[in-house]
Amino acid sequence: MSELHSIAARMVAKGKGILAADESTGTCTKRFESIGVESTSESRCDYRSALFTSPGLESYISGVILYDETFRQKIVGTNHLIPEYLQSKDILPGIKVDTGAHPLKEGSEEKNTTGLDGLSERLGEYYALGARFAKWRAVITLGDGIPSDECILANAEGLAKYALLCQQANLVPIVEPEVLMDGTHTIESSFEVTDKTLNTVFEQLEQHHVDLKGIVLKPNMVLSGYDCDNQASIEEVAQQTLECLTKNVPSEVPGIAFLSGGQSNDLAISHLNEMNKKDTDWNVTFSYGRALQQDALKIWAGNLENTNATQGALLSRAKANSLATKGNF
Ligand code: 13P
């Protein structure tokens, strides 16, 4: 098996999932503001060191997505660079490589993700520093008259170009087309837009000759808009999401690792669990940011003395999601 195929398979191995800890400085600062902690490169490193040194994290977590700053930091109080420390625990280090979502056109509500300039060089450097996979997030906003075909195509093309460059640099690309679930739309609209988005993404991946056995897909689940009056049940979400994926995702893809996207921590577990009660062509797991970290972040509160409890909260969410990857939660 090629290195890419075996890394992709490890990322989505049954019982394991991915911890997304790649919040940009801006996003991390917003999260820290919510708990009243000043966001500095030291405080960000303290927090992330607490997460990554959780004892036994490797039982549930196959890989961690890092942001550039974290990739170059050391675990607090040690001489271990964070990617090397993770590798020593048998956790694959990954790196967010897009440079954010920007207006598709001036004044437009729709976004396109940037980051292709100089990407090859950056990927080579990250590989040398220990990265084994990368992430690029495309954002599709659902609203009145949007998304446009132009927006979906531009984002799908970006994902495909990024994915090919990653594979050329021996990094497994996490391909993340996120249809946002903010708004009053129904689960049917969510299905329709996710369907169209995934269809275009796989068309582009194939046109760019991306090796589908060497990627991990990170999609949104098909949910009712968060402000929709009629919220679909857990069973309906699982059924609609799997139907949409089965329609669009070729069986060569080794795994699907969902983003949590702002759903509650408990629903993120239940939806994943429900999907894993059924047989699927790919391993179905998690690549959660908020749904794994929210409890831990609140408990940490910027205080080193809370490290044990912070780690306990992360491990408890990670374990529950691990069980959910087997339908055993
Ligand atoms: P959430 O699980 O918080 O949506 O974050 C996952 C992620 O990596 C988004 O790019």
pLDDT band, very low/low/confident/very high, at 213 (cuts 50, 70, 90): very high
Averaged pLDDT, 166-191: 98
Averaged pLDDT, 163-181: 98
Q: By percentage, how much of the chain surpasses pLDDT 90?
A: 100
**pTM for the predicted model, two decimal places:** 0.98
Compute, in angstroms, the gap from residue 110 CA to the centroid of ligand 1: 19
Compute and round to an integer the Cα radius of gyration of the chain. Answer: 19
Q: Whose CA is nearest to atom 5 of ligand 1?
A: 289
The pair of three-digit structure tokens given for residue 329, joined into one six-digit string: 């939660």
Averaged pLDDT, 290-299: 98
Over 90: is that where the pLDDT of 199 sits? yes
What is the atom index within ligand 1 of the atom nearest the CA of 288? 2
What is the atom index within ligand 1 of the atom nearest the CA of 292? 2
Residues 63-86 pLDDT 10s: 999 999 999 999 999 999 999 999
Which residues, listed in sequence order, are joined to residue 283 by a DSSP beta bridge? 255
DSSP state of 74: B
Cα 272 to its chain centre, rounded Å, is 14
Contact 173 CB / ligand 1 (< 6 Å): no
pLDDT on residue 1? 62
At residue 131, what are phi and psi to the nearest 5 degrees? -65, 145
The residues that are catalytic are 176, 218
Cα dihedral: 47, 49, 54, 58 (round 10): 120
- Write out the DSSP string of 112-149: EE---TTHHHHHHHHHHTT--EEEEEEEE--BTTBS-H
Contact 290 CB / ligand 1 (< 6 Å): yes
Compute, in angstroms, the gap from residue 288 CA to the centroid of ligand 1: 5
Averaged pLDDT, 39-49: 98
What is the atom index within ligand 1 of the atom nearest the CA of 260? 2
Give the span between the Cα atoms of 18 and 24, in whole angstroms: 17
Compute, in angstroms, the gap from residue 285 CA to the centroid of ligand 1: 13
Contact 17 CB / ligand 1 (< 6 Å): no
Angle between the N-to-C axes of helices 265-275 and 307-324, in degrees from 0 to 180, rounded to the nearest 10: 30
- Residue of 96, 223, 290, 295 to test ligand 1 pocket, by largest number of atoms within 8 Å of CB: 290
Compute, in angstroms, the gap from residue 95 CA to the centroid of ligand 1: 13
Compute, in angstroms, the gap from residue 264 CA to the centroid of ligand 1: 13
